[in-house]
Copies of this chain bind each other. A is one copy, B any other.
């Protein structure tokens, strides 16, 4: 029997507000046991001392514990990404799956291949592995394993890989006897994201290999489909692979594009054209089930030759600047603000750009 994906973007009034997910479960549309992953765009600073991520996860676990065993709750990846700068709207994205028995003998609502996904959590990393090749290899293996679990055979059918990975703290660095990639917590977030992205690139055949020294430096090595965020609350990597598979059915599809810089609206427009051919500006909005992308400040200090100030601002982290700015760009094209814009795109797309993925519903009409 084919599998069927359900993807729901749901609002939150704060990191502790899981009421929309509770209502989804109460309404019967999604059973708690159907949930395969939950992403959250929470309203912290997205940097080291962003407690909205941990608060959201603790709140999600409390909610799901009323429905599932502790083991089942622990098996659900919860990838929180902090930062809703500008007009971005805090939200959850619930990924659920059910057998297509609802179709009750009728033909599938839409011809396959449809959106498919699966998630894998790697073993806990040793602090000395964070931000280095060993981390990348663990992520590579997890991507390959998740592809198999999702029924995706060809790496070209993978359209997005969301990774949540650990960071280094002073305690962790000490536990490694100082044999760590960096002694800066903030910098370790970037190296961890970068090593994860290179792992995705390995799995998808985008690069052939990399060395420890490439992480954070060889900016020409990158994945077109990796989106990685780091957090203090885990030591392994949670990997969610999304793509298209003929073993899945239903109206949902996924496509991806790579933004070449922070104002690459044409890349996003091409995605929207795929979802809703011929739709006018903001016309594809209603078809969007979820839009996920990365944003970062270009290391050159310039965008198409014009100077930006994101890297010189000691009051606001460049990741906060980049999320708000790219968020505004995409909100203008889609007419929506519940966009999963994640900061820190090391080795995720070219310098200053980043990958974007659109999950869309072929049964939804155009925005009037």
Interface residues of A (CB under 8 A from B): 11, 13-16, 43-45, 47-52, 54-55, 58-59, 62, 84-91, 170, 185-186, 262-263, 265-266, 268-269, 281-282, 297, 300-301, 303-304, 306-317, 320-322, 324-333, 335-338
Complex CA gap A50/B50 in Å reads 10
The listed residue (B13, B51, B317, B331) touching A51 by CB distance below 8 A is: B51
Evaluate contact between B52 and A51: CB separation under 8 angstroms.
Answer: yes
A311 touches B185 (CB 8 A): yes
Q: Is B47 within 8 A of A51, CB to CB? A: no
The answer to whether B312 touches A320, judged by C-beta atoms less than 8 angstroms apart, is no
28 contacts between A and B (CB under 8 A): A14-B51, A15-B51, A15-B55, A16-B55, A16-B58, A47-B314, A48-B313, A49-B309, A49-B315, A84-B309, A85-B316, A85-B321, A86-B325, A86-B326, A86-B328, A88-B308, A89-B307, A91-B306, A186-B314, A263-B332, A268-B332, A303-B337, A304-B336, A308-B337, A315-B315, A324-B324, A326-B328, A329-B331
Q: Which residues from B are CB-within-8-Å of A311?
A: 170, 185
Cα A13 to Cα B233 with chains together (Å) = 13
Residue of B nearest to A326 (CB): B328
